[in-house]
Amino acid sequence: MHHSKNRLAVLAASLCVLAFTIAVGGVAAAESGLPIPRFVTLRSDKVNVRAGPGVRYPIEWVFERKGMPVEVVAESDVWRKVRDIEGTEGWVNQNLLSSRRGVIVTGGIRSLRREPRDDAPIVARAEPDVIGQLLECAGPWCRVDLSGFRGWLKRGEFWGVYPNEKIE
């Protein structure tokens, strides 16, 4: 009986901290201590996405794009519930994810700029759905690497970063 009360007290305290964290910052810390939601990338060209957090759950589909950004929206032990650019969600093992940041070009053909300015010279043009690496963000611009071409895109030209997130 004594242990149950302690467990309930700890659970109640944890819920209060979680509610406070959400109310104050809008971002909760998960079991890993990392923020939820957060962006990560796929570590492999074949990532099984399951219906629930464990191997006993069926594989619903397979991601086949290494480096693709996904958003971690929940955690359970070594499992991460992820959301892709289309809003599809499922569970993957944390070992199949990397903290390295990635981008997916969205909309139309985008101009990769030499500097973070609309009038800067164009380094390359990128088709929608091109995947690259996120290097840094300052204000409305982010520096990315798309297949070895490094340059700047506006935040609205790709998916993989939050509106006011600072990346250094």
Residue type, 67: G
Contact 35, 22 (CB under 8 A): no
Same fold, 31-98 and 102-159: yes
To 5 degrees, how large is the angle CA 147–CA 148–CA 154? 80
Specify the pLDDT at position 24. 35
- What's CA 98's distance to the chain center, in Å? 10
Specify the pLDDT at position 142. 98
Specify the pLDDT at position 13. 40
Q: What CATH number was assigned to the domain covering residues 31-98?
A: 2.30.30.40
Q: What is the mean pLDDT of each run of 10 residues along the chain (168 residues)?
A: 42 38 45 92 97 98 97 97 98 97 98 98 97 96 97 98 93
Contact 36, 75 (CB under 8 A): yes
CATH fold of 102-159, please? Answer: SH3 type barrels. (2.30.30)
Domain segments of the chain: what residues? 1-26, 31-98, 102-159
